[in-house]
């Protein structure tokens, strides 16, 4: 598994995570939480190259507000 980063917020129904460094998952990659439960998939990578943001489209039924502050991973 590849780390995505820590969730900083939810905007317009999209979960936004801040990457730890310049390595980021590809668009379309599956995203899971610490428990390996599927959260959604990567839809965009944006911001500074050194530490970009990753936008994740959540799956139906995912409680996005509970993800703020949590770490996400790509499979």
| 6-57 residue pLDDT tens | 999 999 999 999 999 988 999 999 999 999 999 999 999 999 999 999 999 9
Kind plus residue range of the DSSP H or E element containing 9: strand 2-11
User: In terms of Cα–Cα distance, which of 6, 25, 15, 18 is closest to 74?
Assistant: 25
Residues 6+ apart with CB under 8 A from 19: 3, 4, 5, 51, 52, 53, 54
Looking at residue 70, its pLDDT comes to 97
What pLDDT is attached to residue 42?
97
């Amino acid at each position: 598994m590849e780390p995505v980063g820590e969730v900083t917020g939810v905007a317009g129904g999209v979960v936004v995570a801040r990457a730890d460094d310049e390595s980021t998952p590809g668009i379309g990659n599956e995203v899971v939480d610490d428990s390996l439960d599927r959260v959604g998939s990567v839809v965009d990578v944006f911001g500074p190259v050194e530490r970009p943001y990753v936008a994740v489209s959540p799956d139906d039924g995912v409680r996005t507000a509970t993800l703020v502050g949590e770490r996400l991973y790509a499979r």
